[in-house]
Amino acid sequence: MLDQDFVHEAFVSFCQQAADRGVLVGRYVLMPDHIHLFVVFAPHAPRPSTWVQSLKVFLAKTLRQHGHGGTHWQKGFFDHVLRSSESYAEKWQYVKENPVRAGLVNQANDWPYQGEVGRADL
């Protein structure tokens, strides 16, 4: 499996800078070929599809700079609007367990490529 430390660092940096454009990233789990993340978009922010595409391009460029060519990310993206705190907790638990379901770790907290960039609220 690809050592993702440099990808993780690039992802966090990209998300921190996104706040300047009204995109606030909260919790996330970075997987080898996709990302689960909780994001809030301000009214003046880019459309989610535009922002996700720029994130994918940025991370693919980072991978190429480290000698990893080819396709890295699943095509497209799926978004879901969370409508309650119960929904948030349920969805986060599902996302957090993704590395376990993928057989990458035995316990979710052992996955090193997860965290919270900042509070995802405006």
Pick the CATH number of 5-116 from 3.90.1170.50, 3.30.70.1290, 1.10.3720.10, 3.10.20.740: 3.30.70.1290
How far apart, in Å, do the first and last CA atoms of the chain sit? 36
Q: How confident is the model at residue 75 (pLDDT cuts 50, 70, 90)?
A: low
For the chain, the structural domain boundaries read: 5-116
pLDDT of amino acid 85 = 66
More confident residue, 82 or 35: 35
**Would you tell me how many other CB atoms lie within 10 Å of the CB of residue 106?**
9
Distance CA 9, CA 31 (A): 13
Q: What percent of the chain has pLDDT over 90?
A: 31
Looking at residue 57, the DSSP 8-state letter turns out to be H
Per-residue model confidence as pLDDT tens digits over 33-43? 788 888 888 99
As to burial, measured by CB atoms within 10 angstroms (0-12 exposed, 13-18 middle, 19+ buried), residue 96 is: middle
Within its chain, how far is the Cα of 11 from the centroid?
A: 7
Closest CA relative to residue 121, chosen from 14, 10, 18, 23: 23
- Residue 84 pLDDT > 90, yes or no? no
pLDDT of amino acid 1 = 44
pLDDT of amino acid 73 = 62
**Residues 6+ away with beta carbon under 8 Å from 62:** 6, 7, 10
Angle at 117 between CA 111 and CA 118, to 5 degrees: 135
pLDDT of amino acid 106 = 96
The model's pTM is 0.81
Contact of 93 with 12, CB cutoff 8 Å: no
